[in-house]
Amino acid sequence: MTVSLILLAAYVIDRIVGDPRRLPHPVIGMGKAIHAVEQLIRRFFTRPQSLRVAGILLPLIVVGGAWLLTAVLLWLLSLVSPWLVWLAEAWLISTTIASKGLKDAGMAVYIELHKGDLPAARRALGMIVGRDTTTLSSPEIVRGTVETVAENIVDAIISPLFYALLGGAPLAMAYRAVNTLDSMVGYKNEKYRDLGWASARLDDVANLIPARIAALLLALCACLLQLDWRRSLRTVRRDAHRHPSPNSGYPESAVAGALGIRLGGENVYHGVASFRAYMGEPLRPLEPEDIIRTSRLMLLCSSIFVCLCAVVAWFWIGG
């Protein structure tokens, strides 16, 4: 029962508490560690070829360090009491999940759109996306929000729970290190093309299975919420591979198909326009309520998956 209860407790903690600002968050520590290791590497590796080699070293140090520190912490707590280990595992795993934060971020945009305050909605969206939001129309704000919530169903919920099931808090924390690395150095620009390539590839590999699981679960959730699950699956088969990411297209296309909307199109990053392949069909215009529908899909999908993980832990791992 222990693993099952830890997973369920971690998810409940995240749904209720989220990420309190007053408590230290492991991801902040990971970000500081990544920055420190990057600076150290750049002191000793300056040429492009050597940076590509160091690109392998960076995730080995950061991801391996996250796993090791978590495992050592749990081992030390086990010397005191198994109860401390279980409580620590539940809390640590909860910090790798962001269902409440994802819902809150989407609703912050929806509230401003509902009030008709476009500048405030743009600012709220700008807090969670990298694209330029200063001139976006209401439908484009909705698109950006829906895309972000849909994409992060994998990164912020399914993948952390998947790795927590396989390896407890140490592996869940290692995954969060992978994801944080990708968000910080996994860019194909001049600065990170050589140093960040391995981090970006590792993130792609880590999310490969969870992204496909998410697409199937989203179709199931579409059925349960009386949305079009058949169109959701068709859209995944047709459009998921068009996304520049090998994984993000799966949840985005599943949501687009379920809602009967089209995602993708032109985004602007630091003044440079970039076109992202379309996902879904524009059967109707985008509207603010699509943010609520996407949040419902996300929350139901995450609830079903954590229950599945608990069942698997009970029968396969033996509790």
SS3 string, 220-287, reads HHHHHCCCCHHHHHHHHHHHHHHCCCCCCHHHHHHHHHHHCCCEEEEEEECCEEEEEEEECCCCCCCC
Q: How many CB atoms lie within 10 A of CB 262?
A: 19
Direct distance between the N- and C-terminal alpha carbons of the chain, in angstroms, rounded to an integer: 4
**pLDDT recorded at residue 186:** 80
Distance CA 312, CA 289 (A): 35
Query: What residues form DSSP beta bridges with 272?
Result: 269
For the segment 36-53, what is each residue's pLDDT rounded down to a tens digit?
988 888 888 888 888 888
Query: What residues form DSSP beta bridges with 268?
Result: 273
pTM across the whole model: 0.93
CA-based R_g, the chain, Å: 20
Q: Which two tokens stand for residue 304?
A: 């079903």
Q: What's the DSSP call for residue 23?
A: S
Distances (CA, A) of 16 to 20, 128, 198, 241: 10, 21, 35, 35
**How far is CA 275 from its chain centroid?**
22
Residue 89 has pLDDT above 90, yes or no: yes
Burial annotation 90-105 (CB, 10 A radius, 16+ → b, else e): bbbbbbbbbbbebbeb
- Please, which pLDDT band fits residue 1 given cuts at 50, 70 and 90? low
**pLDDT recorded at residue 18:** 83
**pLDDT recorded at residue 24:** 73
**How far is CA 2 from its chain centroid?**
26
Helices (H) and strands (E) in the chain, counts: 13, 2
Strongest mean pLDDT among 55-59, 188-192, 299-303: 299-303
**pLDDT recorded at residue 317:** 62
- Please, which pLDDT band fits residue 190 given cuts at 50, 70 and 90? confident
Q: Tokens 């590796």, residue? A: 45
Distance CA 319, CA 314 (A): 4
Could you give the 3-state DSSP secondary structure of residue 115?
A: helix
Contact criterion met (CB below 8 Å) for 254 and 291: no
**Percent of the chain having pLDDT more than 70?**
99
For the segment 270-292, what is each residue's pLDDT rounded down to a tens digit?
788 889 899 999 999 999 999 99
**How far is CA 58 from its chain centroid?**
21
Q: Return mean pLDDT, the chain.
A: 93
Distance CA 176, CA 54 (A): 21
For the segment 215-256, what is each residue's pLDDT rounded down to a tens digit?
999 999 999 999 999 999 999 999 999 999 999 999 999 999
